[in-house]
């Protein structure tokens, strides 16, 4: 198997996810932020391309308003933006909706994207799904993203339920899910991360809950 040509994509590591209703609850946001920063530093040291992404809505929007405090990248990420090869803004979930992202990945001859950032239940999920028709392999680092509590007319779930369920879902079809330490070991060994599939996940799921 050939060595993956990886790029790290840091999705929306912004202040909005550390305050107010969008504050990440699981994994703990300070812990996930520290892991995001560690992955960025590791990528820099390994000469991996890094793309930073910033969600942006018009001035006056209740969240992610251009120029607002919540719109700003978290300071720990902001001070590393100069180490990144590219920075983009977007207004939708998938990072592929930002101008130039797909072309940049092709120019870099990237075949595998490593996703970190926020949120598990929105932009990380949307990006992983959108990568499929582009022929890109996806890695999601489970300790370098996070989810929020959700409640609506369909019910209510905790951030931990959301995050853990989506990690299993992603591993079953759209991504290889691992923690940052396993990713770093795979990177050092020039290896791919193990990825599941829907069929085997279904078989194991049926066996676990007869």
pLDDT tens-digit readout, 48-73: 999 999 999 999 999 999 999 999 99
pLDDT tens-digit readout, 111-145: 999 999 999 999 999 999 999 999 999 999 999 99
Contacts of 140 (CB under 8 A, 6+ apart): 114, 115, 124, 128, 167, 170, 175, 176, 177, 178
What pLDDT was estimated at residue 20?
87
> Tokens for 86?
């590219």
Q: Of 21, 18, 16, nearest to 55 (Cα)?
A: 16
Q: pTM of the entire structure?
A: 0.96
How far apart are the C-alpha atoms of 70 and 17, rounded to whole Å? Answer: 8
Q: Of 97, 94, 151, nearest to 124 (Cα)?
A: 94
Is the C-alpha dihedral spanning 156, 160, 163, 169 positive or negative? negative
Q: In the chain, where are the structural domains located?
A: 6-208
Residue 172 pLDDT exceeds 80 = yes
pLDDT tens-digit readout, 73-95: 999 999 999 988 999 999 999 99
The CATH topology of domain 6-208 is: Rossmann fold (3.40.50)
What pLDDT was estimated at residue 2?
80
Between 15 and 205, the more confident residue is 15
**Predicted confidence band at 146 (pLDDT cuts at 50, 70, 90)?**
very high
How far apart are the C-alpha atoms of 59 and 198, rounded to whole Å? Answer: 42
């Amino acid at each position: 198997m050939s060595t993956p040509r990886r790029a790290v994509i840091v999705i929306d590591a912004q202040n909005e996810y550390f305050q107010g209703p969008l504050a990440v609850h699981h994994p703990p946001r300070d812990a996930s932020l520290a892991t995001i920063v560690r992955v960025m530093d590791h990528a820099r040291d390994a000469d991996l391309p890094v793309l930073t992404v910033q969600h942006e809505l018009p001035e006056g929007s209740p969240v992610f308003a251009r120029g607002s405090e919540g719109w700003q990248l978290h300071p720990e990420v902001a001070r590393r933006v100069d180490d990144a090869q590219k920075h983009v803004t977007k207004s939708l979930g998938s990072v592929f909706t930002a101008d130039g992202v797909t072309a940049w990945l092709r120019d870099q001859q990237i075949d595998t994207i490593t996703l970190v950032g926020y949120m598990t239940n929105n932009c990380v999920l949307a990006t992983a799904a959108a990568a499929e028709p582009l022929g890109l392999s996806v890695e999601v680092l489970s300790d370098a993203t996070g989810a929020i509590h959700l409640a609506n007319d369909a019910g209510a779930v905790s951030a931990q339920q959301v995050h853990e369920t989506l990690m299993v879902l992603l591993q079953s079809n759209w991504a290889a899910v691992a923690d940052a330490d396993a990713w770093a070991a795979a990177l050092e060994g020039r290896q791919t991360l193990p990825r599941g599939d829907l069929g085997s996940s279904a078989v194991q799921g049926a066996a676990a809950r007869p």
